[in-house]
Amino acid sequence: MSTPVVRSIADLRATISRLRQQGHKIGLVPTMGALHDGHLALIAAAKARGCKAVATIFVNPKQFGPSEDLATYPRDEAGDLVKLTAAGTDLLFAPMPEEVYPDGFATSVAVSGVSEHLCGATRPHFFGGVATVVTKLLLQALPDMAFFGEKDFQQLQVIRRFARDLDIPVEIVGVPIVREADGLAMSSRNRYLTPEERLIASHLPVVMRDLAEALRDGKSAADRIVAAKDRLLAAGFDKIDYLELCDADRIQPITAAKAPCRIFVAAFVGRTRLIDNWPVL
């Protein structure tokens, strides 16, 4: 039997209410579709925590800039539904844009501090769009837990921050990155890569792993980061938005490794922007 699909907030709330009346906990898994094993790991994590897994698919226009790939972002709801059903997903909420942002919608959620560096600096519209739509999804579903992948680690910290600040009664759960056999983090945008670009992209996790190992001695990161950028460009990357060592809680740059910290990277292969992060301490 296929996972049931609802399109309206009213139907989402009614279905979740019935599940709660049956004594179930709710685990929300927000996605933009084009699902891969990384997304399905979030479903598995929700099930492992004893929740009914409620997935959402919504390509959020508010997190795309005017020159970004909203129109061409991969969409395959029928294929996604097959994957969600096989993973044991209990409900899919797949609203139309006008259901999420009705005529006259005029509210946004902004998170200062943790959102301002890395992707917040290079894509200034992005985290406001994420924070607004995820706030809406959390309030629409009111789950016990919500599950997000650590590949988008800065996004995860932004969500944790506003959920705490706004007293939204949900546990935000981070799920480790799922990687391809060669180490590349799974991403819906990986399908944009040509075979030649995919080979170039495989250098990204290798360079990050080597940099993380080197930085664990606690010495200055600056020269090693420059060398890592040079390795990526020599491997065929076209542009590096950022490659930095940051405090993992506040997402602020630091000059040497101290716990907890991660390396964060965003780099282009051709027209495809890949992001990743790697724990150091």
Which residues belong to the active site?
39
Q: What ranges in the chain are assigned the alpha helix state H?
A: 9-21, 37-48, 77-86, 97-100, 119-122, 126-141, 153-165, 195-201, 203-215, 222-235
**Residue 121 CB contacts under 8 Å (≥ 6 apart), including other chains:** 242
Judge if the upstream peptide bond of residue 260 is cis by omega within 30 degrees of 0. yes
Asked if residues 86 and 43 have their Cβ atoms less than 8 Å apart, the reply is no
Residue 186: which residues within 8 A CB-CB, separation 6 or more? 36, 37, 38, 151, 177, 178, 179, 180
The answer to whether the CB of 3 falls within 8 A of the CB of 90 is yes
Backbone angles phi, psi at 25, to 5 degrees: -85, 155
Q: CB of 201 within 8 A of CB of 180?
A: no
- Sequence-distant (≥ 6) Cβ neighbours of residue 264 within 8 angstroms: 118, 153, 154, 242, 243, 244, 245, 246, 251, 275, 276, 277
CA triple 182-185-186, angle to 5 deg: 105
Whether 45 contacts 173, CB under 8 Å? yes
CB 220 within 8 A of CB 255: yes
